[in-house]
């Protein structure tokens, strides 16, 4: 049965802080996330002051998160196949330079709407490049059983930053200017660089296989998600939730200025309320998730956030909106942290950074596109109509649980067990030779063909997930008890990678198939390589 993670006994939420590396990375993350939140708040409010346009203000969120949609998956391939320390430090170095230039332009009064969007987008590209490597590096600092608590603790750091950062930025913006907020963001990125140098990510395990290339690694990650029911369900649910919920985040500056008549400090406090609620939820999320279960928790979170959007659409009393946003932040944290934990716990090491990247693409890509969409809807129909439409869309997404149920992965789903017995052949092809056709022959006991076919069909998803482009089972017309499983892999290197990706769960599927074989009849594997 699926494993349900909870905060109990030794593995409480704060027990992960006993690991020095995690503790240092967690603290560095909190500082870095605070700087990012300050930068986004200052950019959003500066756009309000420069243009007064709710559409252009919403585009600031798009400029922040669209790079995730474009770059996160290639960045995930790099994180799975290259030196993660160099990747993270290099991206942070570029971000320091970009944000420094933006700060100078703002201080000189030269930061117009186009420059603001351009530099915000460039900074977002840096965050997109480092994000998959950073997330998996943090998860690697704790044992697997502590991973849910580590992810929740990092979510608390991120949401604490979203609560604290905008509030600080609002006061600095009002007291000094946007340029000084951007300058403070530069300092937080420098702090993050030093933290990574102090606690660098663990190097990847050495492998005799050729390294994956960017394109083939990207295709492999997407193929894995497509043929892994657990990962696919979590990604689809994330897209639906983030896309609908992005309306509130994107339109919050307009709500503050147009509906509640608040200034920069008031807008910062609105953002802070969302963060405060998220932090409060993170402190009890493990116990709540264990009590309610995944589906009920997500459904309640969707209903609460939808109600908050309706309140923000019609209520003009700031205190009521502040309280509602606190609840909304709690709901957002509970749902998104659950999706993130389920994704990371369901992916084996070879593809974990890419799974994190796909989660990021699903969450922030839909967030970016949704921000632009809801901003455009607001410009045409008004704030209230756009928020109500978004609330209805979020409630409609709850029914996805019927087709895409959530569950956490078990240890056997992600523990690799290389199946090399069939790969030792006398003349090894070159890595790029192919395509490769693999045939696995089974001799089945008479009368058990249906049971065998049902068992062997379970291998289809595993073969396709790990590298096969085609998969079929054939019956031998000359011998009715003989069946052949045939699948195609793009190259010999891809086939070797496929063998190395097998997990304990895959091995168990193989054993179930062999239960139906005739006694004394071996399973025969043959390999064919295309010549023309």
Give the mean pLDDT per block of 10 residues along the chain (532 residues). Answer: 36 73 88 89 83 78 80 86 87 92 88 87 90 82 79 80 78 83 91 89 73 82 91 94 92 87 79 83 82 91 96 92 94 90 85 86 82 89 93 93 86 75 68 91 94 95 93 94 95 88 90 92 91 78
Instruction: Round to whole Å and give the CA distance between 487 and 419.
Output: 16
Instruction: Round to whole Å and give the CA distance between 245 and 356.
Output: 20
Residue 281's pLDDT is 87
- Asked whether the beta carbons of 354 and 224 are under 8 A apart, the reply is yes
Q: Can you tell me whether residue 333 is helix, strand or coil?
A: helix
Q: Looking at the domain covering 416-529, what would its CATH class be?
A: alpha beta
Burial-class residue 210 by CB neighbours within 10 Å (0-12, 13-18, 19+): middle
Closest CA to 376 of 70, 116, 54, 63: 54
Domain locations in the chain?
Answer: 17-201+212-413, 416-529
- Residue indicated by tokens 């990021």: 360
- Asked whether the beta carbons of 169 and 37 are under 8 A apart, the reply is yes
- Region of 110 please: left (phi>0), alpha (psi -120 to 50) or beta: alpha
Instruction: Round to whole Å and give the CA distance between 140 and 396.
Output: 36
Alpha helices, DSSP H, located in 346-365: 352-360
Instruction: Round to whole Å and give the CA distance between 435 and 488.
Output: 7
Q: Taking the CA of residue 420 as centre, how many other CA atoms within 13 Å lie in the half-sphere pointing to its CB? A: 7
Instruction: Round to whole Å and give the CA distance between 507 and 87.
Output: 34
CATH 2.40.40.20: does it fit domain 17-201+212-413?
no
Residue 460's pLDDT is 95
The residues facing 11 across adjacent strands are: 8
CA 122 to chain centre: 20
Residue 214's pLDDT is 80
Instruction: Round to whole Å and give the CA distance between 217 and 220.
Output: 5
Residue 10's pLDDT is 43
Length of the chain: 532
The secondary structure of 459-493, three-state, reads: HHHHHHHHCEEEEEEEECCCCCCEEEEEEEECCHH
- Asked whether the beta carbons of 528 and 439 are under 8 A apart, the reply is yes
- Asked whether the beta carbons of 165 and 41 are under 8 A apart, the reply is yes
DSSP 286-309: HHHHHHH-HHHHHHHHHHHHHHHH
Instruction: Round to whole Å and give the CA distance between 99 and 43.
Output: 11
Q: Is-above-0.85 flag for pTM? A: no
Q: Can you tell me whether residue 456 is helix, strand or coil?
A: helix
CA 246 to chain centre: 16
Q: What angle do CA 512, 518, 520 make, to 5 degrees?
A: 105
Closest CA to 390 of 404, 403, 405, 371: 371
Radius of gyration over every alpha carbon of the chain, rounded to an integer in angstroms: 25
User: Dihedrals φ, ψ of 405, to 5°?
Assistant: -70, 150
User: Could you tell me the two tokens for 204?
Assistant: 């990847």
Residue 425's pLDDT is 66
Alpha helices, DSSP H, located in 142-213: 147-175, 178-198
Dihedral (CA of 49, 55, 57, 63) sign? negative
Closest CA to 475 of 511, 442, 446, 447: 442
Instruction: Round to whole Å and give the CA distance between 43 and 190.
Output: 20
Q: Which residues of 493-519 are buried (b: 16+ CB within 10 A; e: fewer)?
A: bbbbbbbbbbbebbbebbebbeebbee
Residue 310's pLDDT is 95
Cβ within 8 Å of residue 245, ≥6 positions away: 305, 309, 332, 367, 370, 390, 394
């Amino acid at each position: 049965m699926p494993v349900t993670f909870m905060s109990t006994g030794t593995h409480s939420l704060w027990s992960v802080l006993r690991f020095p590396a995690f503790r240092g990375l967690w603290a560095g993350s909190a500082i870095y996330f605070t700087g990012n939140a300050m930068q986004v708040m200052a950019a959003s409010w500066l756009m309000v002051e420069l243009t007064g346009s709710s559409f252009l203000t919403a585009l600031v969120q798009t400029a922040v998160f669209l790079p995730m949609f474009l770059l996160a998956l290639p960045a995930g391939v790099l994180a799975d196949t290259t030196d993660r320390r160099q990747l993270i430090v290099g991206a942070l170095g570029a971000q320091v330079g970009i944000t420094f230039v933006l700060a100078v332009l703002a201080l000189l009064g030269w930061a117009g709407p186009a420059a603001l969007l351009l530099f915000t987008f460039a900074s977002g590209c840096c965050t997109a490049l480092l994000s998959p490597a950073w997330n998996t590096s943090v998860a690697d600092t704790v044992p697997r059983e502590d991973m849910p608590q580590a992810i929740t603790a990092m979510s608390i750091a991120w949401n604490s930053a979203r609560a604290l950062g905008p509030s600080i930025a609002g006061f600095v913006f009002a007291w000094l200017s946007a340029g000084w907020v951007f300058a403070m963001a530069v300092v937080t990125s420098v702090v993050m660089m030093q933290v990574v140098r102090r606690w660098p990510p663990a190097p990847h395990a050495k492998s005799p296989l050729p390294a994956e290339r960017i394109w083939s690694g990207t295709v492999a990650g997407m193929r894995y998600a497509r043929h892994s029911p657990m990962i696919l369900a979590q990604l689809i649910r994330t897209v639906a939730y983030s896309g609908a919920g992005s309306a509130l985040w994107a339109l919050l500056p307009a709500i503050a200025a147009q509906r509640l008549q608040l200034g920069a400090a008031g807008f910062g406090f609105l953002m802070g309320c969302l963060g405060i609620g998220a932090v409060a939820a993170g402190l009890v999320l493990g116990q709540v998730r264990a009590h309610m279960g995944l589906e009920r928790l997500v459904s309640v979170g969707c209903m609460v956030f939808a109600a908050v959007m309706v309140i923000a659409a019609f209520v003009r009393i700031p205190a009521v909106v502040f309280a509602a946003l606190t609840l909304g932040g709690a709901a957002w944290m509970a749902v998104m942290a659950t999706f993130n934990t389920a994704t990371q716990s369901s992916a084996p090491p070879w593809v974990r950074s890419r799974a994190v990247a796909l989660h990021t693409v699903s969450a922030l890509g839909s967030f970016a596109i949704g921000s632009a969409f809801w901003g455009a809807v607001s410009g045409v129909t008004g704030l209230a109509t756009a928020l109500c439409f978004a609330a209805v869309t979020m409630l409609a997404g709850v029914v996805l649980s019927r087709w895409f149920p959530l569950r956490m992965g078990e240890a056997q789903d992600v523990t690799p067990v290389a199946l090399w017995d069939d790969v030792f052949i006398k003349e090894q092809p070159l890595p790029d030779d192919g395509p490769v056709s693999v045939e696995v022959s089974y001799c089945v006991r008479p009368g058990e063909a249906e049971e065998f076919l049902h068992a062997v069909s379970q291998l289809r998803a595993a073969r396709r997930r790990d590298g096969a482009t085609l998969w079929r089972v054939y019956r031998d017309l000359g011998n009715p008890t003989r069946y052949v499983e045939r699948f195609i892999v793009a190259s010999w290197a891809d086939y070797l990678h496929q063998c190395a990706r097998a997990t304990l769960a895959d091995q168990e599927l193989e054993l179930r198939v062999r239960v139906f074989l005739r006694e004394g009849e071996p399973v025969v594997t043959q390999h064919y390589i295309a010549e023309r």
